[in-house]
Amino acid sequence: MARRSAALPRGVGQAHPFFAERADNAEIWDVEGRRWIDFCAGIAVVNTGHRHPKVMAAAREQLDKFTHTCFQVMAYESYVELCERLNAAAPGNTPKKSFLVNSGAEAVENAVKIARAATGRSGVIAFGGGFHGRTMFGMALTGKVAPYKIKFGPFPGEIFHVPFPDALHGVSEDESIASIERVFKYSIEASRVAAILIEPVQGEGGYLPAPLGFLQRLRTLCDAHGILLIADEVQTGIGRCGKLFATEHYGIEPDIITLAKGLGGGMTVSAVVGKAAVMDAADPGGLGSTYAGNPVAVASALAVLDVVEEEKLCERSMLIGEQMRARFTSMQARFTSMAEVRGLGAMTAVEFCRNGDPHQPAADIATALKDEAARRGLLLLMCGNYGNVLRVMVPLTLSDAVLEEGMDIIEASLEAIRA
Ligand code: PMP
């Protein structure tokens, strides 16, 4: 195993020294025949579970037709159908248009490109702790510095970061809004800002849901200054937070939304969905790429949307989240390092701090939990600015039995490491 990893640069991280052989719904078997419960879902990707039969059948059917033409060379109807479905499902009543690319980073980059084209302005306001991808522009927009931005600069400019509301660490909603006002006053006039870019629930930054009224305040601020509001729903979308789009919880209509991860059910496809008038700002040929909207991935995505609807996975996502948070909350009395339990829908997190003190982030406890759980056959992943947040991202199709089995392992692991 070590020999195989040594073939790769250090920069390609590997949370666990194990190699997958096959997977089914919420379980993975490694090359040594060990069974794993998957509480990561490929980082919130297989929302419909590993190898959902309907998604697999759709992909297989497309494999037998054609795998690639490049939409710009020879178009295919499934691409348009997927965009139509996303347009219809996106929050708000303003007519929408969409197009497809391959990854989250690409979707976010293109969303900002369109915002710049539509407004004729260059400035972008994003959030500390935010994550938007590992391309140069994605990293420039990303507020979370380590490890993503270390050694790679300089980055594209005209991007300004403000604090994300975070009650546990003393950042109020008011403070966040005041920081934006300060950017307008001291760094770039509001009239030169194209977009405010926000994850409704900050993902890599620590699974922090934006407070309910915050997105509404951003919407009002954007409207007052002709700024576009971009919701990066790469991680929060496709049922992860209990709605197809997490912004539906907030009662606002973003100008542009990015989707990726859960959309393809394990195949690579991402989307930029936005108000039609905004989306038409770029000139023909200015958007897309060779592989954008690959036909097999698009077939999977269409099946994913069907499965989410047919199996009521948004409702299931809400229940999963409630069930998990209830269990975590009941553990808090015994494990003093569990400083906060939070989340939205199935996006669930526990922040570990020494003695529950938010000023003492305890990445060592989070890492010990991950390793102990791995010894017991449960796959976990951490996030947060200090790596001290357990984020649970189960396939939304998992059974209650597997869910409870995984939660039992977490509880037993916390006991074993004396968290
Ligand atoms: N935006 C958000 C909110 C994300 O969570 C991620 C990935 N974690 C990205 C963008 C980048 O997506 P990708 O890795 O597919 O480029």
Cα 416 from chain centroid (whole Å): 31
Please report which helix (H) or strand (E) contains residue 33, including its range: none
Q: Which atom, in ligand 1's list, is nearest to the CA of 236?
A: 3
Distance, in Å, from the CA atom of 25 to the CA atom of 3, rounded to the nearest integer, reads 30
Q: Quickly list DSSP for 204-215.
A: TTT-EEPPHHHH
Query: How far, in Å, CA of 387 to CA of 389, rounded?
Result: 6
What is the residue type of 157? G
Q: Output the CA 234–ligand 1 centroid distance in Å.
A: 6
Whose CA is closest to atom 13 on ligand 1?
A: 104
Q: Is 291 helix (H, G, I), strand (E, B) or coil?
A: coil
Which residues does ligand 1 sit against, CB inside 6 Å? 43, 103-105, 108, 131-133, 199, 203-204, 232, 234-235, 260
Q: Is the pTM of this model over 0.95?
A: yes
Is the pLDDT reported for residue 202 higher than 70?
A: yes
101: CA distance to ligand 1 center in Å? 13
pLDDT tens digits, one per residue of 161-186: 999 999 999 999 999 999 999 999 99
**Is CATH 3.90.1150.10 what the domain over 2-51+312-416 is classified as, yes or no?**
yes
Mean pLDDT of 386-395: 97
Q: Which region holds residue 245: left if phi is over 0, alpha if psi is between -120 and 50, else beta?
A: beta
- φ/ψ (deg, to 5) at 349: -145, 155
Distance 103 CA to ligand 1 centre (A): 7
If we measure between CA atoms, which residue out of 89, 156, 72 comes closest to residue 305?
89
Strand intervals (E) in 16-56: 20-24, 27-30, 35-38
| Helix 313-332 vs helix 400-416: crossing angle, to nearest 10 | 20
User: Do 2-51+312-416 and 56-310 fold alike per CATH?
Assistant: no
Q: C-alpha distances in angstroms, 286 versus 4, 110, 270? A: 40, 10, 17
- In 16-76, which residue ranges form alpha helices assigned H by DSSP? 41-44, 53-63
Structure tokens at 291: 């592989």
Beta-strand pair 378-379/347-352 = unpaired
pLDDT at 205 over 90: yes
Residue nearest to atom 15 of ligand 1 (CA): 104
ipTM for the predicted complex comes to 0.99
193-198/123-127 β-pairing: parallel
Question: Does 218 score more than 80 pLDDT?
Answer: yes
- For residue 240, the model assigns a pLDDT of 98
pLDDT at residue 14, rounded to an integer: 87
Helix (H) or strand (E) holding 106: helix 104-119
Reported as a pLDDT band with limits 50, 70 and 90, residue 60 is: very high
As a 3-state breakdown, the chain gives helix, strand, coil percent values, each rounded to 5, of 40, 20, 40
Q: Is the pLDDT of residue 374 over 90?
A: yes
For the chain, the structural domain boundaries read 2-51+312-416, 56-310
For residue 43, report the distance from its CA to the centre of ligand 1, in Å.
9
Comparing CA positions, the residue from 419, 387, 388, 393 lying closest to residue 406 is 393
Per-residue pLDDT at 130 exceeds 60: yes
- Model pLDDT for residues 404-414, shown as the tens digit of each residue: 999 999 999 99
217 CB neighbour count, 10 Å cutoff: 18
Please tell me the total number of residues recorded for the chain in this structure. 419
Per the DSSP assignment, residues forming a β-bridge with 100 are 271
| Fold for the domain defined by 56-310 | Aspartate Aminotransferase; domain 2 (3.40.640)
Place of tokens 């949370």: 15
- Between the CA of 33 and the centroid of ligand 1 the distance, in Å, is 31
Res 122: pLDDT: 98
DSSP-based three-state secondary structure for 121: coil
- Mutational pocket test of ligand 1: of 132, 144, 201, 238, the residue with most ligand atoms within 8 Å of the beta carbon: 132
Which tokens go with 246?
């997490």
Query: What whole-number percentage of the chain has pLDDT above 90?
Result: 95
Nearest C-alpha neighbor of 125 from the set 224, 210, 182, 195: 195
pLDDT at 15 over 90: no
Position 13 pLDDT exceeds 90: no
